[in-house]
A = this chain, B = another copy of it.
Amino acid sequence: MSQINRQIQLVSRPQGEATTDNFKLVEVPVPSQAELADGQVVVRHHFLSLDPYMRGRMNDSRSYAEPQPLNSVMIGGTVGEVVASKHPKFAVGDQVLGMGGWQEYSVVDANVRGAIHKVDTTHIPLSAYLGSVGMPGVTGWYGLVKIINPKEGETVVVSAASGAVGSVVGQLAKARGCRVVGVAGGADKCRYVVEELGFDACVDYKQHNDPKSFYAALKEATPKGIDGYFENVGGMILDAVMLRMNAFGRIAVCGMIAGYDGQSLPLANPAMILVSRLKIEGFIVSEHPEVWPDATKELGGMVASGKMKLRESVADGIASAPEAFLGLLKGKNFGKQLVKLS
């Protein structure tokens, strides 16, 4: 009797805010070893990663990536173990990282270069390959190191600071001798960012929820202005940061989650780009595969030695993925959002 693979498909596109109705749970059989083609591998997923970029894929509009097709499994990063293999380089029991999607099992053509990677869990927990040592970690590394490139003593600000990307950015900047200020929603997250992650300060955008109050709090936290900003959010936070940027400041634009539901999200003062001679650069980490060796070497070393911390929010079971994802978009998660699948 074959195993059942439960998966979440995207069945409709959001009109404005995404809802659970956009998703559907579907059951399909898992192929047996005998049913595999040469080169195929079956991976049983232990964790699925939920990330803000997925919201963009749900839309049909022009973006950097193809839209997620309807009536197919939602894309997503996964870690798990090989449970059947017809590929000489992968054996049952191997732990692997891949883009298995929102499902319990995936069937992978391991001949496709980069489709799955074996990972070493001797010093690094398996789930970290979806977090600090995975795509979110490398995203933070690229924006901080390649775009912001901060010098010792400079001030770096990061939004969504308690999240998977933001927490990496801040800890990397601290390791480079910067003053690091986070922006996060709520007293608990701000306390965590300062006390656990070691940021110098954190501005609570829920406490300071109008532009004037937020700007005042940001100003207090950045007495010498801001030299580098890692943008995950957009909107009011970006507007305030623009006014605090020092001459020759750098802004790495990784995400603008505040506009993912299609809200108009203008930038109030683009003239500051000229006034402060700013450099603003948007990037997508998947377009810079050349940095993975350097980035994962630094990140893996920091995780293994305990110098890079990342809290995880873990939802239980594939059926919980849509709710957990919608919560992530509203900032309800605390740290890296995962779904435990086995």
Chain A 263-302: CB-based contact to B (< 8 A → 1; otherwise 0): 0111111110111111111111001000000000000000
Chain A 64-79: CB-based contact to B (< 8 A → 1; otherwise 0): 1000000000000000
Whether A268 contacts B266 by the Cβ 8 Å rule is yes
Copies in the assembly, this chain: 2
A149 to chain B, nearest CB (A): 14
Q: Is A119 an interface residue (CB 8 A)?
A: no
A265 to B266 Cα, complex, angstroms: 10
A280: B residues at CB distance < 8 A:
273, 278-281
Whether A270 contacts B256 by the Cβ 8 Å rule is yes
A254 to B274 Cα, complex, angstroms: 7
A255: B residues at CB distance < 8 A:
274
A271 to B282 Cα, complex, angstroms: 9
Q: Is A170 an interface residue (CB 8 A)?
A: no
Whether B64 contacts A247 by the Cβ 8 Å rule is yes
Whether A273 contacts B282 by the Cβ 8 Å rule is yes
A254: B residues at CB distance < 8 A:
274
A96 to chain B, nearest CB (A): 29
A276 contact from B64, B264, B268, Cβ within 8 A: B64
Closest to A249 in B: B282
Whether B270 contacts A238 by the Cβ 8 Å rule is yes
Closest to A243 in B: B62
Closest to A284 in B: B277
Whether B259 contacts A271 by the Cβ 8 Å rule is yes
A151 to chain B, nearest CB (A): 18
- Chain A residues in the interface with B (C-beta under 8 A): 62-64, 234, 238, 247, 253-256, 259, 264-271, 273-284, 287
